[in-house]
Amino acid sequence: MTTAGLEGIIAGRTGIATVGKKGAGLTYRGYRIEDLAEHATFEEVAYLLIYNRLPTPGQLTAYKKRLQGLQGLPEALRTVLEQIPASAHPMDVLRTGCSMLGTLEPDGQGGRTEASIADRLIASFGSMLLYWYRFKNRGERIDTVSGEDTVAGHFLRMLTGAEPDPLKKRALDVSLILYAEHEFNASTFTARVVTSTLADIYAAITAAIGALRGPLHGGANEAAMELVSQFETPATAEKGIMQMLEGRRLIMGFGHRVYKNGDPRSDIIKSWAKKLSEAAGDTTLFDVSERIEQVIMREKKLFPNLDFFAATAYHMCGIPTSMFTPVFVISRTSGWAAHIIEQHNDNRLIRPLGEYTGPDPRPFVPLAERS
């Protein structure tokens, strides 16, 4: 018996997260997402995922300092980034940057561990992306040691070169918390499969970035932005969405394999999208998005997943659309790393079976006899 897309199949044991579990909802190591998004910062959540406990105040201060000290990029990596064309997708920049860093700072050498490499990647993915972006778009070779002591602040300062706005910084920080971990989703499962072969963490994360890029997974936040930005008013959005539904088109940012009654992350990011829009005095995109949400619920009984309102929130933070999924990478690296470490600590090669649907055995036809 096979199940298309492995739906409903338990593919392994994990102590990291629950997704849509009865009586628990979404939790990271037992902590509810609602509490983490309200009271914690992304650095606390990354620490929780990678080091398996919430940091004490002293540990958090030391961790933030450590991440700050890991923002710089080796010269050889900067040279590679400068070779990547301006037309490249930023996800491919991160995929390449991760792979290159793995050749310069290899796993298992120089005292490096999976946890320390995860910290390095979380601290430097924003640097890689924005070094490349600013070099290609403005001809600048920026110093990627920003002086910011949060991942969100580092990203926003690298993007604009200016002091980050506190509201945007916290909105981005909360979104990083929401994106950090989600059990056996496609990219995390990819990372676990690669790890199960005993390949290193760079290989696992490079592969995971590839899996996240697609529009059915992380790429949906970018696709959702392309959708909502087509419409100038809620009324034109309603008309356009009705036409898309008649054409049986997928509406990006809606639906989920596991959640059937709503994604708990969506309400949280929606409230931030609203706050940012009101603060900017421009709620057009938010109003269009909210109308699309109502129409899809009315017509299809489908709810938005995290990616849908993340699009509005990120746009209002001034983040270019093609960087939405790379921001997801920066955050999800913490969850991927937790799974890589967990897989490694209790490893067995992941090697399922396929249900064969091809031809019965048949005689080989020599080349000269084939027409």
Residues contacting 133, CB < 8 A, separation 6+: 90, 159, 320, 323
Closer CB to ligand ACO, 24 or 250, in the complex: 250
> Which residues, numbered 121-150, are part of the site for ligand ACO (CB under 6 A)?
none
Residues contacting 4, CB < 8 A, separation 6+: none
* Whether 39 is catalytic: no
Residues contacting 89, CB < 8 A, separation 6+: 213, 322
In whole angstroms, how close is the CB of 343 to ligand ACO at the nearest point?
Answer: 20
CA distance 278 to 38: 20
Q: Does 254 bind ligand ACO (CB under 6 A)?
A: yes
Q: Does 253 bind ligand ACO (CB under 6 A)?
A: yes
* Whether 89 is catalytic: no
| Residue from the set 16, 193, 205, 306 that interacts with ligand ACO by CB under 6 A | 306
Closer CB to ligand ACO, 127 or 175, in the complex: 175
| Residue from the set 97, 153, 218, 234 that interacts with ligand ACO by CB under 6 A | 218
Q: Does 241 bind ligand ACO (CB under 6 A)?
A: no
Strand order in the sheet with 17-21: 17-21, 25-28, 31-32
> Which residues, numbered 1-40, are part of the site for ligand ACO (CB under 6 A)?
5
Residues contacting 250, CB < 8 A, separation 6+: none
* Binding range to ligand ACO, per CB under 6 A, among 68-76, 225-233, 281-289, 301-309: 301-309
Return the closest-CA partner of residue 270 out of 308, 320, 299.
308
Is 71 within 8 Å of 146 (Cβ atoms)? yes
First to last CA, the chain: 37
* Binding range to ligand ACO, per CB under 6 A, among 33-41, 143-151, 274-282, 305-313: 305-313
Q: Does 250 bind ligand ACO (CB under 6 A)?
A: yes
Q: Does 178 bind ligand ACO (CB under 6 A)?
A: no
Q: Does 252 bind ligand ACO (CB under 6 A)?
A: yes
Burial class (CB in 10 A: 0-12, 13-18, 19+), 129: buried
Given the residues 173, 263, 307, 315, the one annotated as active site: 307
In whole angstroms, how close is the CB of 144 to ligand ACO at the nearest point?
Answer: 27
Q: Does 216 bind ligand ACO (CB under 6 A)?
A: yes
Q: Does 90 bind ligand ACO (CB under 6 A)?
A: no
Q: Does 234 bind ligand ACO (CB under 6 A)?
A: no
State which residue has the least CB distance to ligand ACO. Answer: 255
CA distance 198 to 333: 18
Distance (Å) of CA 154 to CA 10, 134, 150: 38, 14, 6
* Whether 143 is catalytic: no
Closer CB to ligand ACO, 144 or 175, in the complex: 175
CA distance 154 to 68: 9
* Binding range to ligand ACO, per CB under 6 A, among 88-96, 130-138, 212-220, 348-356: 212-220
| Residue from the set 305, 312, 325, 343 that interacts with ligand ACO by CB under 6 A | 305
Number of residues that bind ligand ACO (CB under 6 A): 18
Beta bridge partners of 32: 27
Is 258 within 8 Å of 297 (Cβ atoms)? no
Is 285 within 8 Å of 312 (Cβ atoms)? yes
CA distance 39 to 290: 26
Instruction: Point out which residues bind ligand ACO (CB under 6 A).
Output: 5, 216-218, 220, 250-257, 300, 302, 305-307
Residue positions annotated with a catalytic role = 217, 256, 307
